[in-house]
Structure 1
């Protein structure tokens, strides 16, 4: 899958694209935008440097493969990701040629807009959302808080654990997150109270966007599972830890999770990520080998640098930059690979469809500074984290702005980024009268 579009020497004629930290010409992510002035409906685009290119406009002008025009004219990516992978590869090749050749400047310029002048939307109409739990260091750390003597349940190393999330409350980066209400019960209390969440947390995850469709009853073999991964994004599955502690047994999280999930707006395609695939982490001695339907050959894992930053209201008022909370890598964090997630999800015949969203679960590394949640960083709220302006945090407070970042890096290839995934915490609203 590595081809001329990954050549690190390639550069775009678009100002600021060469060496851009997220969107050089080797990336070419897909998303949906509209103009801030409101004179257009949502349209499919790619990002190049600090600009977006209107792909619907390019297709209408005949500058892109003719067979893609109908899919590119839609207000979401669903139709495009129902097409064969070869069609999206053809689109990538065409965009690379247009944006790397000076001769194509006149074709593209009428459809090129500064990113500052557009609004980005959810890239898909999300049919369904499932959140997994494949970050073994996170699962171990959280398990120790609840079950010190038995942090990982017996099934963890045999089966990719997941739960059925709520698609309706998935929002694009930049959407405000309202502090949820829920039932809270202190350990020494006789009964719960209904109150705003006091232990609001983030979760640093990657999101997998499904491509193609399989019929109900038709599993997805592990050998073809990567063909069903259209691309990736950053995902923050906001968590109300105090609500979760009271409600999660026996069936798992409910109101502690379904109030908000934030995703980054650009889909970093599987084709763009081809150079950053690698062999999975070796399983420690004594760990069980996956059952045959989950046994994967080759480079099925991803090595992506992950980072979380926090900027409080006081920091913004003082003009201070965001403070880095954590720094890690997806390769060290994931016990199960993206293909294993997809294959397991469909192994019982579940039908997956273009635009479905799968979260990896929190991706924490093996070291304290690579933890992907405040629950881990503050040791369950026991150790406040020092911040600029003399502040500290154990969990998120109103006005806090939490951002996730990701970069794919490898010697010999251009670095590509995901763009930020940001949410600002707003005060809880008054409940019903």
Structure 2
């Protein structure tokens, strides 16, 4: 639903918000923060500030019906509320931040962003990771099956696997190099050692709203009602551990050691103007089964989001060098299946989904060089190193490397909004 909160001309009295790259008043993402006291509060980002929504609710500046959910320490309760109720929060907050007459009342609840700590926005009950980036699937498949990179099921079913929710961490948390079994191609036996082929994966995370019972499904026409919003997701990957362990059951220790999520939830309401038509399937591709097909979703189910990744080695940061942009592409060009199809398929067997569950899209690579979402693709399996400004080379990540993901929703006629960074620095394995 596009409404007055998406007006590109809307202006906030908060200093710097109108020109902020990520968080103008048209965005109003939701997250969890704390001050020096350590108590966690639900907040929203506006420019370079975090606004304390629990404080606004206690002060009577937000609807009373929202107060119990806003005074919790995670977003789970808020996103158990229906969509219409959540929209009242967006409208009320938008009114407070665009009306100069509210400045005196709201200002005590504004905190500079550099003075707050950001946390995981939800208590994550479950996490699944999908594989809907068709160009990534094709690029990876070509490394192992040059003549048939996509397996026969890929265009029939959204492929996914169940991840490990316990190791999802908020942006900025150091990434400890994982250990696992590794078997070199010319070795007779595997060894247990630190990963040598550590990679990143540029993804979007889909947060679930609402709850339903075991055995129930989610019709695709209702799937967007179950999407709370999106964050950036880096599902770090230990490629050498994965190569040995993934057959026959798929990823395990190679993926469960760490996943990084950006702290702000860009709500489905904020992204309404950036929902666009899903690219038509290539001629000859199979039609999805009826439970995965909705004409309205095809017309407005893709997202106009630009995605990018940068890398800065420890030497680059010490020298004050700008991070090297590794790739840039779009979610629309990357995703063979829509977010609604992902959600519907996750529940298609009667699996119950709950507020705060996390679904990853899988690596989102574009169709051209320079739009890949992982080093495995860029280096073509380690054969073609990437040269850094320092003269260093990378096929995979080294200790001290900082990897940062970015995303921006953009469309003509609307104010672009950003996701904020999703970052992690690789640290050595622990003994």
TM-score (norm 2): 0.99
Distance 2:38 2:111 in 1: 13
- What residue in structure 1 maps to residue 294 of structure 2? 296
Distance 1:101 1:269 in 2: 22
Distance 2:194 2:207 in 1: 32
- What residue in structure 2 maps to residue 391 of structure 1? 392
Distance 1:101 1:58 in 2: 15
Q: Does 1:83 align with 2:81?
A: yes
- What residue in structure 2 maps to residue 102 of structure 1? 100
Secondary structure of 1:113 counterpart? strand
Matches within 5 A, 1:129-144: 129-144=127-142
Distance 1:297 1:20 in 2: 36
Secondary structure of 1:388 counterpart? coil
Q: Does 1:65 align with 2:66?
A: no
- What residue in structure 2 maps to residue 237 of structure 1? 235
Distance 1:219 1:119 in 2: 37
Distance 2:183 2:354 in 1: 39
Distance 1:365 1:414 in 2: 24
Cα offset, 1:75, TM superposition: 0.3
Cα offset, 1:110, TM superposition: 0.8
Q: Does 1:7 align with 2:7?
A: yes
Q: Does 1:17 align with 2:17?
A: yes
- What residue in structure 2 maps to residue 114 of structure 1? 112
Deviations 1:116-169 (A, max 9, x none): 000000000000000000000000111111222221110000000000000000
- What residue in structure 2 maps to residue 311 of structure 1? 312
Distance 1:154 1:337 in 2: 19
Secondary structure of 1:351 counterpart? coil
Distance 1:291 1:331 in 2: 21
Distance 1:63 1:189 in 2: 66
- What residue in structure 2 maps to residue 93 of structure 1? 91
**Which of the numbers 177, 185, 188 marks the counterpart of 1:187?**
185
Matches within 5 A, 1:1-400: 1-35=1-35, 37=36, 39-298=37-296, 299-400=300-401
Distance 1:279 1:226 in 2: 15
Distance 2:131 2:369 in 1: 19
- Mark the runs of 5 or more structure 1 residues left unpaired by the alignment: none
Secondary structure of 2:370 counterpart? helix
Cα offset, 1:87, TM superposition: 1.1
Secondary structure of 1:92 counterpart? helix
Distance 1:175 1:370 in 2: 26
Cα offset, 1:40, TM superposition: 4.0
Secondary structure of 1:390 counterpart? coil
Distance 2:44 2:295 in 1: 32
Cα offset, 1:368, TM superposition: 1.4
Secondary structure of 2:93 counterpart? helix
Cα offset, 1:297, TM superposition: 2.0
- Mark the runs of 5 or more structure 2 residues left unpaired by the alignment: none
Deviations 1:366-408 (A, max 9, x none): 0010000000011110000011111111000000000000000
Distance 1:86 1:123 in 2: 21
Cα offset, 1:303, TM superposition: 1.4
Secondary structure of 2:86 counterpart? helix
Secondary structure of 1:257 counterpart? coil
RMSD: 0.6
Secondary structure of 1:152 counterpart? coil
Deviations 1:343-388 (A, max 9, x none): 0110111100000000000000000100000000111100000111
Distance 2:10 2:19 in 1: 10
Cα offset, 1:19, TM superposition: 2.0
Number of equivalenced pairs: 428
Distance 2:43 2:105 in 1: 15
Cα offset, 1:413, TM superposition: 0.3
Distance 2:21 2:243 in 1: 39
